[in-house]
Amino acid sequence: MKKKLVTALVIIAIVLFIGFFILGNVIFAYKMNEENTDNIIIEGNSISLDSFTLRQKIAQMIMIRGDSENNLELIDLNVGGVFFDQQKTEKNYREKIREYQENSKIKLLIATDLEGTWNPFVWFKEFPMNKDVKNETGAFNLGREQGELLKSLGFNINFAPVSEFEDDIYGGRAFSGDKEEIKGKLKAYIEGLQKSVFGTCKHYPGKGMIKNLHLERDEQNISLEDLELFEYCVENNVTGIMVGHQIVNGELNSNGRPSSVSKEVIETIPENILIISDEVNMQGLKGFYPDKRGMYKDLINSGNNLILDFKPDKKSSYKLILELEQDVKNGKISEEKIDESVIKILKLKGYEIV
């Protein structure tokens, strides 16, 4: 009798556990799917930051990959941007980008890496490697041609040019020549590109392609010459700077942390520049963190405006946003930093903040 009673109680406990688990998931899914933008006030090109919820502001700082069929649903979370590089026709790019823009109440930043080696448009358009660009005229024409193509497809930002002296990993991203020749090519490329779309100098503060940071950590000594290339990008009105995951010392010291989560490194970038983290699932950053919650906390607090996260799904992304929301409320993340970033992002999208 006792054995039967114990068995019955165990079965009841298991059923209750499964029931509560299913109910919890149903409630979570319901809350996730009821996220919307009805509260956000947009009138013409004016947008009210005060009408955003904290969750919506956090989501505006995240750029996802859009090539997967399943990632369109992440637009419901109000992410700020989408990255594409895996479509095989001009038509596919245009249709994908249009679909994302039409499903987002807030305009999206649409980005790619057209940067000198891997060409996301190789199926229908060829470009030379940056190392083979002979002079400033060639760099200007390359930037102009790439910018015109990007704009025609629906992109508004390119994660280029690479503002470094060496490319030991990919072989062609960096412009060739001495320092003055490289500076001239950077200036010309930025000018040509930004006639159509925003440009991004990377990977700050330099020497980000000596080792493959997708696969391993790296530490580099940064020189004044490394920094000069980025200073020259800023002088020539580049829109964004992407911060790499290399640990640095020398003229800048990230204190044993990747540059992308180093306040000491990021605070040297002028405030008017859009500060973009390199993709956060790269081992050069990911290897320092047991989970994304702590990583994002450091990314935001150190001063990144736009965070590239190309391996999301709707459920885990929503859970992360809820966790970050709680960290803001608990004083672990600066809401002031979030507001500064969202204002910068919205202005770049063409909105006037009211």
- CB atoms under 10 Å from CB of 64, counted, come to 27
**What is the pLDDT confidence band of residue 161, given thresholds at 50, 70 and 90?**
very high
Is this structure's pTM higher than 0.85? yes
Contact between 248 and 220 under an 8 Å Cβ cutoff? The reply is yes
DSSP 290: S
Cis peptide before 245 (omega within 30 of 0): no
**What is the pLDDT confidence band of residue 335, given thresholds at 50, 70 and 90?**
very high
Contact between 44 and 350 under an 8 Å Cβ cutoff? The reply is no
Q: What is the CA radius of gyration of the chain?
A: 22
Candidates 272, 240, 212, 258; CA nearest to 111 is 240
Q: Enter the tokens of residue 142.
A: 């390359």
Can you give the pLDDT at residue 34?
46
Cα–Cα distance, 65 to 165 (Å, whole number): 28
- CB atoms under 10 Å from CB of 45, counted, come to 10
**What is the pLDDT confidence band of residue 106, given thresholds at 50, 70 and 90?**
very high
Can you give the pLDDT at residue 35?
59
DSSP 171: S
Can you give the pLDDT at residue 11?
75
Segment 289-301 mean pLDDT:
97
Q: Where are the beta strands (DSSP E) in the chain?
A: 42-43, 46-47, 62-65, 81-83, 109-112, 157-158, 200-204, 219-222, 240-243, 247-250, 274-277, 307-308, 352-353
pLDDT tens across 256-292, in order? 999 999 999 999 999 999 999 999 999 999 999 999 9
pLDDT tens across 197-225, in order? 999 999 999 999 999 999 999 999 999 99
- pLDDT for 14 beyond 80: no
**What is the pLDDT confidence band of residue 12, given thresholds at 50, 70 and 90?**
confident
Cα–Cα distance, 116 to 122 (Å, whole number): 12
Cα–Cα distance, 104 to 101 (Å, whole number): 5
Measured over the CA atoms of residue 347, residue 274, residue 334 and residue 36, the dihedral's sign is: positive
Helix (H, G, I), strand (E, B) or coil at 162: strand
Q: How many residues does the chain have?
A: 354
**What is the pLDDT confidence band of residue 13, given thresholds at 50, 70 and 90?**
low
- pLDDT for 37 beyond 70: yes
- pLDDT for 27 beyond 70: no
Give the whole-number percent of the chain exceeding pLDDT 70.
Answer: 91
Cα–Cα distance, 198 to 239 (Å, whole number): 6
Can you give the pLDDT at residue 300?
98
Measured over the CA atoms of residue 314, residue 32, residue 340 and residue 352, the dihedral's sign is: positive
Helix (H, G, I), strand (E, B) or coil at 24: helix
Candidates 167, 263, 171, 160; CA nearest to 206 is 167
Mean per-residue pLDDT of the chain: 92
Candidates 189, 185, 169; CA nearest to 177 is 185
Segment 218-242 mean pLDDT:
98
- pLDDT for 103 beyond 70: yes
Segment 345-349 mean pLDDT:
98
pLDDT tens across 116-155, in order? 998 999 999 999 999 999 999 999 999 999 999 999 999 9
- pLDDT for 29 beyond 60: no
